[in-house]
């Protein structure tokens, strides 16, 4: 079965850094567009960043994280990363990994999430 397992969430002070990882199994990883979403208490789930399939040549970010977060993927390790620098309290949320395959064989999967808390 398909599994997306996130890790790397932690409690960090403002200005700190974290790297989230999402290891994927059960699908042909390189074909999938990978994304990171986040959801803070009382708020809707928000798309944070996207990276295209195959070589990952296309990336996108929500405005609030541009210049601070970097998404990347390692197809040999079936893993997508989110490097988060200069973290702010507003980044506090549960972070979720998402995989989607577009087209006639559309399919999508979610991970269970990893908690990021930014607080002094």
Distance CA 84, CA 18 (A): 5
pLDDT-derived band at 118 (thresholds 50, 70, 90) equals very high
3 state SS of 31: helix
- Beta bridge partners, 46, equal 38
Identify the helix (H) or strand (E) that includes residue 50.
strand 46-51
Alpha-helix runs per DSSP H in the chain: none
pLDDT value of residue 115? 98
pLDDT value of residue 55? 73
**pLDDT per residue over 33-55, tens digit each?**
999 999 999 999 999 999 999 77
């Amino acid at each position: 079965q398909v599994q997306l397992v996130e890790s790397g969430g932690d409690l960090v002070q403002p200005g700190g850094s974290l790297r989230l990882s999402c290891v994927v199994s059960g699908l042909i990883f390189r074909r999938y567009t990978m994304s990171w979403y986040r959801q803070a208490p009382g708020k809707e789930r928000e798309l944070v960043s996207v990276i295209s399939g195959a070589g990952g040549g296309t990336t996108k970010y929500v405005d609030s994280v541009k210049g601070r977060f970097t998404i990347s993927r390692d197809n040999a390790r079936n893993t997508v990363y989110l490097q988060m620098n200069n973290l702010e309290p507003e980044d506090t949320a549960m972070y979720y990994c998402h995989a989607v395959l577009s087209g006639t064989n559309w399919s999508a999967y979610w991970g269970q999430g990893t908690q990021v808390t930014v607080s002094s």
